[in-house]
Amino acid sequence: MALQLGDIAPDFEADTTEGHIHFHDWIGDSWAVLFSHPKNFTPICTTELGYTAKLKPEFDKRNVKVLGLSVDQLASHEQWANDIKETQGHALNFPLIADPDRKVANLYGMIHPNASDTLTVRSVFIIGPDKKIKLTLTYPASTGRNFDEVLRVIDSLQLTSKHQVATPVNWKSGEDVIIVPSVSDEDAKKKFPNGWTAPRPYLRIVPQPQG
């Protein structure tokens, strides 16, 4: 059965470019992004890993650890890392799992037989400090992912986990948010004493809460 939102992310041990890890221990009190790559030395994966390395400071600011996965051997990862640095201008600065036996890929349903029997699709899992899955995305091998969107979703997840708000279409950090329907107007007055704008009773718009 496919992993669903709210499920505990399966734990595992694996060898990576930064040593052996025990996944849940490695996450610790942080958030995590686990994402798979169909194969080493492929063009789209090379651009994705380079761009993610560029974004590493942004992930760090949000207390997010990034972990890649490919079904190739660890020695191959190390050779590929040189290509990533030379062609993308950013060296690999986060661990990349070597999963040649496809243990982790199968645990997370990253192999879709109708797409390929052996290679992973472009899966993304965002996992909270509680080790629960907060978001899943699946792209075909031919389409590179938008990691700016991954950061945007993390901003939303972290904000909405602290405050009783939801984020509207195309929201970006700093923009107005919506009070969730489960909060009554009476309770909303306590939480948002400066009031809100309500073009409809169920659509209560407030500035993004701070902190």
**Is residue 158 domain-resident?**
no
Q: Which residues contact 110 (CB under 8 A, 6 or more apart)?
A: 36, 69, 104, 120, 121, 123
- What is the predicted pLDDT for the residue at 2? 85
For residues 128 and 194, membership in a common domain is answered with no
- Identify the burial level of 61 via C-beta atoms within 10 angstroms of its C-beta, where 0-12 means exposed, 13-18 middle and 19 or more buried: exposed
Beta bridge partners of residue 58, listed in sequence order: none
For residues 119 and 167, membership in a common domain is answered with no
**Is residue 153 domain-resident?**
no
Catalytic one among 14, 45, 96, 124? 45
For residues 103 and 187, membership in a common domain is answered with no
**Is residue 149 domain-resident?**
no
For residues 89 and 174, membership in a common domain is answered with no
For residues 116 and 170, membership in a common domain is answered with no
For residue 18, give its domain range.
13-144
**Is residue 76 domain-resident?**
yes
**CA–CA separation, 207 vs 177, rounded Å?**
6
- CATH of residue 45's domain is 3.40.30.10
**Is residue 32 domain-resident?**
yes
For residues 94 and 134, membership in a common domain is answered with yes
pLDDT in tens, the chain (211 residues): 689 999 999 999 999 999 999 999 999 999 999 999 888 888 999 999 999 999 999 999 999 999 999 988 999 898 999 999 999 999 999 999 999 999 999 999 988 776 665 567 789 999 999 999 999 999 988 899 999 999 999 999 999 999 999 999 999 999 999 999 999 999 999 999 999 999 999 999 999 998 7
- What is the predicted pLDDT for the residue at 118? 59
**Is residue 167 domain-resident?**
yes
Verify whether residue 105 is a known catalytic residue: no
User: ∠ at Cα 10 (60, 110), nearest 5°?
Assistant: 85
**CA–CA separation, 202 vs 19, rounded Å?**
50
The whole-angstrom distance between residue 179's C-alpha and the CA centroid of its chain comes to 24
- What is the predicted pLDDT for the residue at 142? 87
The count of domains in the chain is: 2
**Is residue 73 domain-resident?**
yes
- CATH of residue 187's domain is 3.30.1020.10
Q: How many CA atoms, within 13 angstroms, populate the side-chain half-sphere of residue 70?
A: 23
- What is the predicted pLDDT for the residue at 114? 67
DSSP symbols for 119-140: S--EEEEEE-TTSBEEEEEEE-
**CA–CA separation, 65 vs 74, rounded Å?**
20
- Identify the burial level of 69 via C-beta atoms within 10 angstroms of its C-beta, where 0-12 means exposed, 13-18 middle and 19 or more buried: buried
DSSP symbols for 18-49: TEEEEHHHHHTTSEEEEEEES-TT-HHHHHHH
- What is the predicted pLDDT for the residue at 22? 98
Of 159, 127, 125, 173, the closest CA to residue 145 belongs to 125
